[in-house]
Homo-oligomer: A and B are copies of this chain.
Amino acid sequence: MNQSELDNLRHSSAHLLAAAVMEIWPNTKRTIGPAIENGFYYDFQFSQPISEKDFSRIDQKMRELLKKWEGFERKEVTEKEAKELFKDNPYKLELIEEISQKGEALTLYTSGNYIDLCRGGHVENPKEMLRHFKLLSIAGAYWRGNEKNTMLTRIYGTSFPTKEELEKHLWMLEEAKKRDHKKIGKELELFLISDDIGAGLPIFTPKGTTLRTLVSDYLTHKKQENGYQFVWTPHIAKSQIYHTSGHWGKYDAMFSPMKLDDEEYVLKPMNCPHHFQVYLYRPRSYKDLPYRIAENGTVYRYEKSGEVSGLLRVRALTIDDTHTFVRISQTAEELEKVLTMIKEILKTFGFDNYKARISISDPANPSKYLGSREAWEKAEKTLQEKAEQLFGNVIVGVGEAAFYGPKIDVMVQDSLGREWQLSTVQLDYNQPQNFHMVYTNEEGKEEYPAILHIAMIGSLERLLGILIEHYAGAFPVWLSPIQVAILPISDKHREHAQKVLKIFQEAGIRAELNDDKKTLGAKIRHSTLQKVPYMVIIGDKEIEGAGSKVSVRTREGKDLGQMGTNDFVVKLKEHIENFS
C-alpha cells in the first residue's frame, strides 16, 4: 500500500471514529478528521467531558457500525443544502462558508448512516479494509490551531491494512514509551533537568557525563586521526559579529543580548564566527588548505518553553562542529572524506540504516546562487555520487539549496525503525566573503576558500537522547558508564572482590563493587535494572586455589561460567576496541 492509499485508509478511519462518537453522544459538534503520519485524528467539541476510559465503548461502536459500511457515497450539494445540514455546527458552517467563497465544490460522503462534509479520499470497501484500527490518546487542540479559538478535544488513532502491521506499530509505540530517554535517563541516573536552573538546560550527572565524555572523546580522536585541529572558544561574543555574518535579525533562536561596558554581547547560537577568528589569526596560503577547525562547542538557542524536551530539544546544545576551509578545487575530495567519516561514525553508534537528503541548486535559475556554476555542479555531483555510494537511499531536493551552497543531511533509522536526522554538511561560498577570509594562491594572489560546515552527529545532547532510546539504555560495553558489576556473595568474598576491582581499575575498566548486605539475587536484579553489561560473581569457587577467577553473567541473564579475571579483562578490552 502506498502512502496515498494509506492516507485514504486512515482518513476513512477518522470518519468511522466520528460516526461512533455521534452515535454515542449526539450533541457533539464534529470539526475535522485528517490522516497524519502514522495515523489519524478527529477534533470534537463535546458537551460532556470524555477520557481514554471511553475508548472501549467508542471502539465497540466503531466495529458495530463498520459492519454496515459498504462504501463512501459522494454527493455534491449547494451551499444552502450544506448549511441546512450542519445548521447547529458553527465549525462546519465556517468551513462551508470558506469552501464556497473559494468557488470549490461542496461534497458530502455517506457511509452507513453517517454523513460528513469532506473533500474525499477514502477506501473502497470500508467494511473489509478498516478493521485494523486502534484508538490511542486524547489531547486538547485549538480550533484551527489558533490559541484564540475554542479548545476542542482531539482523539488520536491509527489504522493499518493488516492485523500484523497494526500490531507491529503498537509494539513499536509501546517499546518507544519504555525506551523514552527521559524515563531511562532517570532510572540510570544519566541526566537531570532542574527547574531552578531552567528548562532545556540539562545537567549531566556522573554516569551521564561518563557517557557524554566517551562519545565526545571518540569523535575527537576520530577527527584528530583525520587531521582535524581542535580549538576552544568562549560561549559569548559581541552581537556585532552576527551582523557581519548576516544572522542578526534573521536567525530567531538567538538569546536576548547583554550590555557590557558600552557594548552588546550575546550567547553564541553557532560556533562559526568564533572559528573564523582562528582562520583569520594569520595570513593563510594555499599550502594550509584544507584547514580543519573542530570543536565540540556548546551553543545556546532559544526554543519555546513548551517545545523543549529532555535531551532532544534543548536550549544548551553541544555541536560536534567543524569548519573546513578548502580551495574550490578540493571540495569534491574533501567531501568524500567527510562522508566516509560520517558513515564510520554512525556505524560505531550502531546505526546501519541511512538515508541521505541533498539540497541542490535550481539549474533553471543559476543567477540566484553565489559562486561559479562549475563549482556548484561539481560539488553537487560529488554530493550525489558519494551519498548514493555510501548511504544508498538518496533524496534530491532540487532548488532547495540556500543561495550560499548545497548541503547534505543524513538520517538514520534506530532500532525501532524511527528516523532521526543527525549529520549535516553545508557548503558555504558566502561567509569567506563576509569575513574576508582569503588565502594566497601559487601566484601570490588572494582567493576565497569555500567552507564546509560539518556536524557529524549534530549535537551531543540529541545524539545521547537518541542513543538512550536506540539501545533502551543497554549500551554496548564500550559506551556503558559501568562496564562490570562485582558481586561478592558474602562477607568472606569481599577481600577477593576488592582485588578483582583493582585488576579492573588498573586495566582501565569501569567497574563497580556492590558489597551491600543484600542477597546475590537482589544484587543481580539491581545490576540488571541498571543495564550493566556484565556481572562477575565472587563466591567460594572463585576464592579457591591460585590465580584470580570470576564467574561471569550477562545483563541478558546468560551464565558465561568461571574464567580467569585477566582472561575476562581481555574479553572486555576486545569489546572496547571494537566499539561493541
Q: Which residues of A contact B (CB under 8 A)?
A: 189, 192, 194, 196-198, 201-206, 208-210, 212-213, 229-238, 240-241, 244, 255-261, 263, 265, 267, 273-274, 277-278, 280-282, 293, 298, 300, 302, 304-305, 315-316
User: Could you say which of B265, B282, B293, B300 contacts A236, with CB atoms under 8 Å apart?
Assistant: B300
A300 to B537, CA, bound (A): 48
Q: Are A237 and B278 in contact (CB under 8 A)?
A: no
Q: Are A192 and B234 in contact (CB under 8 A)?
A: no
A sample of 10 inter-chain contacts (CB < 8 A) reads A196-B273, A196-B277, A197-B233, A203-B233, A206-B229, A206-B231, A236-B267, A255-B258, A255-B260, A256-B259
A241 to B201, CA, bound (A): 14
Residues of B within 8 A of A238 (CB): 196-198
Lowest 10 CB-CB distances: which A-B pairs, in order? A206-B229, A204-B232, A234-B316, A201-B234, A194-B277, A256-B258, A197-B237, A209-B230, A203-B233, A209-B232
Q: Are A231 and B204 in contact (CB under 8 A)?
A: yes
The smallest beta-carbon distance between A498 and chain B, in angstroms, is 15
A536 to B473, CA, bound (A): 49
Whose C-beta in chain B lies nearest to the C-beta of A191? B232
The smallest beta-carbon distance between A38 and chain B, in angstroms, is 31
A231 to B258, CA, bound (A): 27
A202 to B205, CA, bound (A): 28
A260 to B267, CA, bound (A): 12
Residues of B within 8 A of A265 (CB): 198
Besides the known contacts A197-B233, A204-B231, A260-B302, 20 further A-B residue pairs in the complex with CB atoms under 8 A apart:
A194-B277, A196-B237, A196-B238, A197-B241, A198-B237, A198-B260, A198-B263, A201-B236, A203-B231, A203-B278, A204-B232, A209-B229, A209-B231, A212-B232, A213-B230, A235-B235, A256-B258, A256-B260, A261-B304, A261-B305
Whose C-beta in chain B lies nearest to the C-beta of A230? B209
Residues of B within 8 A of A282 (CB): 189
Whose C-beta in chain B lies nearest to the C-beta of A238? B198
Residues of B within 8 A of A302 (CB): 260
The smallest beta-carbon distance between A283 and chain B, in angstroms, is 13
Q: Are B240 and A196 in contact (CB under 8 A)?
A: yes
A220 to B236, CA, bound (A): 25
Residues of B within 8 A of A263 (CB): 198
The smallest beta-carbon distance between A209 and chain B, in angstroms, is 5
Whose C-beta in chain B lies nearest to the C-beta of A317? B234
The smallest beta-carbon distance between A220 and chain B, in angstroms, is 9
User: Could you say which of B197, B205, B315, B316 contacts A231, with CB atoms under 8 Å apart?
Assistant: B205
A256 to B202, CA, bound (A): 22
User: Could you say which of B196, B197, B255, B274 contacts A197, with CB atoms under 8 Å apart?
Assistant: B274
Residues of B within 8 A of A236 (CB): 198, 201, 267, 300, 316
Whose C-beta in chain B lies nearest to the C-beta of A198? B238
Q: Are A277 and B237 in contact (CB under 8 A)?
A: no
Which one of A194, A201, A263 has the highest number of Cβ atoms from chain B below 10 Å of its Cβ?
Answer: A194
Which one of A240, A261, A278 has the highest number of Cβ atoms from chain B below 10 Å of its Cβ?
Answer: A278
A258 to B201, CA, bound (A): 15
Residues of B within 8 A of A203 (CB): 231-234, 274, 277-278
Whose C-beta in chain B lies nearest to the C-beta of A241? B196
Residues of B within 8 A of A198 (CB): 236-238, 260, 263, 265
